[in-house]
Structure 1
Amino acid sequence: MDDGWLYSDGGRQRFNATTLKQYGYTIYPNNTISNYSNCVLAFGGYIPTVISNGSWYNSSGCDTPVRQIRTRGIIGIVVAVIFGVILVLSLVALSKHGKSFLPAEKRFRLVGRRWPWYWCIITASVGLISGFTAVDVDRVWVLGTAAIFHFIFYLVTLPTCLSAIWEMTRNWASFEERKGVDEDFTRYRQDDLRSKIEFYEPLIFYLFNFLSFFLSILRAWNPITRSNVHVITDARFQASSIFSLLAWGTVVVAHLIARHYYQPRSTPWKIPVTLLIIVIRIAFNIGSAFDYSISQLRYQATPAYIYCLGYLPVILVLFIILYSGWKEPNEDQELLRLRNTRNATLDQEMSAIPERKSTGKYSAEKKPDTYRARRASRAPAHDYWSGDGSTEPV
């Protein structure tokens, strides 16, 4: 301060000290002026002017992109393109598996097998937004709106991806039940312990998943953009990461229960593989919530952490779900195929049963002999048409 002036940018810019103090503005060492409501750049070609009412003109906000694109932004574009491809493939899979070829059943609703693809679409959409907003995270002078959107949509990819895995697992168990009921309508009751467990499983999973979403997403984000260590590793983020682990555990338990009750000949590999992959992202979230040095919410965070341990597991899980959706048939068509197989087997068994021979008084074997005996015992009849007066038996 010198003669009522405050300076920034190494003394090359000066501002009225009285006006700045009146409205709570402070000049920071990074050549920005802020009162936690407004923040402007004050260096180089960014020369703002403050007037007596505390407002600015010819100013640029602190979240204005002024740097060159960096590693985070370049990889973010690649990730956004990958999520865009996943989004298109998810729509194709929804079109394939969401069609109905059989009459609607109250017990097995069509929307049930559509939900895995709905969650894949949601995950791909938020991942695409997060990837594109990563471009401006390293370009801005001070983290702002772009960083908030990038971090928010990045964090949302975990609960949505977990939901896709859960619905995929639940739908597999539902189809196993459907195949059993189609073969024998009385095989699985709707008032037993199995049905009660399956009623509460989604409630428990979505409770844990929602708590994870609520604690990490629905909160004040301005302190996070300042890379405040006490906020980034606070109890809310820690509890959120633990609830994600509990939601993952619910999927594992539900899968084991389904295997116990339905006893399938084989378990699809997609379920254990996706559960193992997504636990990498969950472990990274837990580590970030307790260790500031590896937190993905820091301004100085290494891009390798967030992309290899954050985005890559989600991308791999979605690709596995999509690949299995491409290889597997529509459920209704598969059910029709199983019905045709059972009917063909039944026809073969029926055709293999030998015909019973009649041993009664009027059996077919005795009819020809009896008929010939009757003809031989008859008296000869006169043939009126031969002209020679010959006779032949009738």
Structure 2
Amino acid sequence: MGDADAGSWVYSDGGQQRFNATILTQFGYVVYPNDTISNYSDCVLAFGGYAPTIINNGSWYNSTGCDTPVRPIRTRGILGIVSAIAFAVLLVLSLVCLNKHGKSYLPAEKRFRLVGRRWSWYWCIITTTVGLISGFTAVDVDRVWVLGTAAIFHFIFYLVTLPACLAAIWEMTRNWASFEERKGVDEDFFRYRQDDQRSKIEFYEPLIFYLFNFLTFFLSVLRNWNPIAKSNIEVITDARFRAASIFSLLAWGTIVVTIILARHYYQPRKFPWKIPVCLLLIAIRIGFNIGSSFDYSINQLRYQASPAYFYCLGYLPVIMVLLVIIHYGGKEPNEDKELLQLRNSRNALLDQQMSGAQPAAVSRRKADAKPKPNRRRVVDRTYDYWG
């Protein structure tokens, strides 16, 4: 706090600016060492060219809020713009893939709904949207004098990218297993029952995953963010953030178990490598979450931490996961078209077998037939004169 002049003045900015101590005390204002004046409801800057004036009713004029960008853009903001542009491009590509894979070319089936194959792209769109917002709000995090609204929005949307990206991977995995079942049912309608152990497991799998994923979101996002924006060590490494990181690991493990069970029940001929690649990439982000919730020096919500940790271990794995999903989305055909192609292949093979079996049967019957004796017709040329 600044020095007082005859008990009536309070100074800031190294004595360059002075304020009436009586009025400040009357309305609960305090001059802080970082050259700001605040009463926990209002906060104004009090240094350099930001010289506010307080009047007798406790209001300010010519004041600048503490969360107003007054500094030049820094490394965090530049990396935020780059990541926001990357998320914007991925958002457009996700919409293109949704348009491709969301179309239907076959009659609707109650057992395999069209929305099932769209959910992975819905989550990709959500992930890119929140990443886009978080990247752009990062611009003002380093520019403000006191962390406030910009930092809160930046960190909130950053944390949402993890459960949203996990949900995109889960829906991609679930849709792969569902399509393997659909191909088997299309070939033999009675191959998979609807009341066996397999169907019961598939009923509870999404409930378990979304429970863990929702707890990750609930514990890390839905909370008071004012102390978090100030990088309070007791808050950003508390039990809620630690539990949220553990629940994200359990959601990741649920996806792994789903893959194992799907390969056991459906025994696919080919396994899409996009699933393990995405799981390995998102495991980097989950590991960073767990480590930062226990280690304050690398904590992702610590303002003083190096942006290299934040962007290389936080944003980059999510961007790489979306790139893998979108790459395979552009490479793979629409499910209905692939199913029609499998039907045509089966019909062509059946026609070939039937057309090749008929001449063989005829030749086989001719070979198995007994040779007939060479009987010559004998004509009785004797004329019966008496008859």
User: So what's the TM-score if we normalise by structure 1?
Assistant: 0.90
Q: 2:48 aligns with which of 41, 44, 55?
A: 44
Check if 1:195 corresponds to 2:206.
no
Give a deviation string over 1:153-174, Cα, whole Å, max 9, x none.
Answer: 0000000000000000000000
Instruction: Identify the residue that residue 165 of structure 2 maps to in structure 1.
Output: 161
Alignment CA distance shift 1:140-1:351 (3 Å): same
Deviation for aligned residue 1:266: 2.1
Any idea what SS the aligned residue of 2:18 has?
strand
Any idea what SS the aligned residue of 2:179 has?
helix
Q: Sequence identity, in percent?
A: 78
Amino acid at match of 1:129: I
Question: How far apart, in 1, do the equivalents of 2:188 and 2:17 lie?
Answer: 84
Deviation for aligned residue 1:24: 1.9
Alignment CA distance shift 1:166-1:359 (3 Å): closer
Amino acid at match of 1:110: L
Moved more, 27-36 or 157-166: 27-36
Amino acid at match of 2:304: Q
Check if 1:186 corresponds to 2:172.
no
Moved more, 289-298 or 88-97: 289-298
Check if 1:84 corresponds to 2:101.
no
Q: How does 1:131-170 map to 2 (within 5 A)?
A: 131-170=135-174
Deviation for aligned residue 1:288: 1.2
Question: How far apart, in 2, do the equivalents of 1:284 and 1:358 lie?
Answer: 72
Alignment CA distance shift 1:338-1:53 (3 Å): same
Any idea what SS the aligned residue of 1:114 has?
helix
Amino acid at match of 1:112: G
Deviation for aligned residue 1:359: 8.1
Deviation for aligned residue 1:55: 2.0
Instruction: Identify the residue that residue 263 of structure 1 maps to in structure 2.
Output: 267
Q: 1:21 aligns with which of 11, 20, 25?
A: 25
Q: How does 1:240-259 map to 2 (within 5 A)?
A: 240-259=244-263
Check if 1:292 corresponds to 2:296.
yes
Q: How does 1:253-332 map to 2 (within 5 A)?
A: 253-332=257-336
Q: 1:128 aligns with which of 117, 125, 132?
A: 132
Give a deviation string over 1:71-125, Cα, whole Å, max 9, x none.
Answer: 1101111100000000000000000000000000000000000000000000000
Any idea what SS the aligned residue of 2:142 has?
coil
Check if 1:66 corresponds to 2:46.
no
Instruction: Identify the residue that residue 5 of structure 2 maps to in structure 1.
Output: 2
Alignment CA distance shift 1:357-1:324 (3 Å): closer
Question: How far apart, in 2, do the equivalents of 1:316 and 1:51 lie?
Answer: 55
Question: How far apart, in 1, do the equivalents of 2:224 and 2:272 lie?
Answer: 42
Amino acid at match of 1:211: L
Task: Specify every segment of 5 or more residues in structure 1 that has no aligned partner in the other structure, as ranges.
Answer: 374-394
Q: 1:356 aligns with which of 352, 358, 362?
A: 362
Aligned residues: 367
Question: How far apart, in 2, do the equivalents of 1:39 and 1:286 lie?
Answer: 34
Question: How far apart, in 2, do the equivalents of 1:303 and 1:357 lie?
Answer: 80
Question: How far apart, in 1, do the equivalents of 2:355 and 2:291 lie?
Answer: 66
Deviation for aligned residue 1:150: 0.5
Any idea what SS the aligned residue of 1:40 has?
strand
Question: How far apart, in 1, do the equivalents of 2:246 and 2:188 lie?
Answer: 42
Any idea what SS the aligned residue of 2:362 has?
coil
Instruction: Identify the residue that residue 382 of structure 1 maps to in structure 2.
Output: none
Check if 1:98 corresponds to 2:102.
yes
Question: How far apart, in 2, do the equivalents of 1:136 and 1:31 lie?
Answer: 19
* C-alpha RMSD of matched pairs (Å): 1.9
Alignment CA distance shift 1:118-1:359 (3 Å): closer
Q: 1:216 aligns with which of 220, 230, 233?
A: 220
User: So what's the TM-score if we normalise by structure 2?
Assistant: 0.92
Deviation for aligned residue 1:56: 1.4
Amino acid at match of 2:132: L
Amino acid at match of 2:337: Q
Question: How far apart, in 2, do the equivalents of 1:243 and 1:55 lie?
Answer: 47
Which of the pair has more CA radius of gyration? 1
Instruction: Identify the residue that residue 176 of structure 1 maps to in structure 2.
Output: 180
Any idea what SS the aligned residue of 1:14 has?
strand
Question: How far apart, in 1, do the equivalents of 2:246 and 2:77 lie?
Answer: 29
Give a deviation string over 1:104-153, Cα, whole Å, max 9, x none.
Answer: 00000000000000000000000011111111111111111111111000
Question: How far apart, in 1, do the equivalents of 2:246 and 2:39 lie?
Answer: 36
Task: Specify every segment of 5 or more residues in structure 2 that has no aligned partner in the other structure, as ranges.
Answer: 378-387
Give a deviation string over 1:267-301, Cα, whole Å, max 9, x none.
Answer: 10001110011010001111111111101211212
Give a deviation string over 1:3-29, Cα, whole Å, max 9, x none.
Answer: 211110001111111221222221111
Deviation for aligned residue 1:302: 0.6
